Amino acid sequence: MAYEVQVYEVVIASPSDLKNERMKVRETVLQWNAEHSKNFKIIFQPVMWEMDTVPEVNIRPQESINRQIIQDSDIMIAMFWSKLGSSTGTSISGTVEEIDLFIAAGKPVALYFSDKSTSISNIDAPQLEALRKYKQSISETSYYNIFKSTNGLKQLIFKYLTVTAQKLSRDRNNHSILQSNDNNEFIPISSNNSIFKELFVQASHSNANGYWLSIVADYNDGYSHFDTDKKQHVLDWSTQLLYTIFPQSDVNKQYGKDYVLVTNLLNNSMIPIFRVQYFNAGVVIIQWRGDSLSIPLEWVITLCLVSVIQVVNSPIVTGKSLGRLGIALSNAPEGGINTNGVFTASSTDVYLMSRNSTWESVIVGSIDIDEIIKEFVRDTLSSWGYYGFEKNLNELIIKNVKQEFLLQQRGLTFL
């Protein structure tokens, strides 16, 4: 079935000593397209001077390359290894000139340095020194990655493309989702709720030991009241959820003016924690915290699902219009996502230093909760370094996770 995509040209820049790596980057970009273009509605088109330029006379060679591929490309992947490259007449090297043009145009540059070994006889000492000076000159103004092998480079590029696609998708959603008025004119939906933004930023960096899963919803206006009956409703729901996951533990329950808090007593500590908080500005945040180093993927899916369902269906927000939704997952200090419970053929679990993943979107009309969670899981696994899960994720029926993980255990109902 045909589908529309946005195409972004990715120019691959490097001196001549990285010929093999240039081709590896091109192959990686094409592989990313094959696995992800349909989901993100994005294609990254690799561009290289060897394949995408034609000869010209009476023009500076680098200027010809600039005019043919650099000026119109959208993203640059630049690499260095043992040499900086030759002077172009206006810059210390062609690759540096290309990088400078991208920076001047305000376009993104992903910069990588190779740390692979080579024979001393292959080293051009002046070129190596020129590269050292260039690297030193940008050290305070540029963030770059170092790779030791072509396989390591592939993983870095794959991750960069995924993170970039996530950002492009979010920007596209934020600017393209419009609302019609009676005159058939289109006006952007307001998303200036400062409390939503503040809470979402905080939720995205909740790096206490363990993990935080946060769902933040913006209803654009305040609530009439948060009375005892409604608090009890949320208290019963969250208690039921925690009992479902930890049936053998004790639960402590409490609520205040604008929050409900349920904690499980595990190993003499008050963890896990489930908190629901409502704000008069029309924002609700549901947070789940656990203290293990890794979080099972089925928990991520299930907790997201039941929390979003609660956000949408809770009697506290009856009659309110959901305008924006955000989901954030953070874990620290070292942990990953255990995918075995959901993906039988997924990649080996990845353990990383503290990481954060976020998904945010304007909401117009009804929402497909399963699709939202699937998109969040896809973005999270990609940005945290997992691979080979796409086929499994596409085939995963989210509702089955709900049934297997919750409904069959203790008959949890969705309020």
More reliable by pLDDT, 77 or 287:
77
Does 215 lie in the same domain as 124? no
Task: Starting at the earlier edge strand, list the strands of the sheet with 269-279.
Answer: 250-255, 259-266, 269-279, 283-290, 210-218, 324-335, 352-362
Residue 249 carries which DSSP code? Answer: S
Confidence of residue 413 (pLDDT cuts 50, 70, 90): very low
> Which is nearest to 310 in space by CA: 237, 253, 260, 254?
237
Does 217 lie in the same domain as 147? no
Do the domain assignments include residue 197?
yes
Do the domain assignments include residue 183?
no
CATH number of the domain enclosing 26: 3.40.50.450
Range of the domain at 115: 6-167
* DSSP bridge partners of 114: 147
Do the domain assignments include residue 1?
no
For 404, phi and psi rounded to 5 degrees? -70, -45
Do the domain assignments include residue 184?
no
More reliable by pLDDT, 220 or 86:
86
Does 394 lie in the same domain as 264? yes
> What's the pLDDT tens digit per position in 161-199?
988 888 787 666 544 433 333 333 322 333 446 778 777
Does 201 lie in the same domain as 153? no
Distances (CA, A) of 290 to 11, 182, 209, 415: 43, 48, 9, 23
Domain total for the chain? 2
Mean pLDDT calculated for residue range 334-350: 57
Helix (H, G, I), strand (E, B) or coil at 243: helix
Does 218 lie in the same domain as 161? no
> Which is nearest to 82 in space by CA: 17, 144, 23?
17
Q: What pLDDT score was predicted for residue 409?
A: 44
* pLDDT surpasses 60 at 267: no
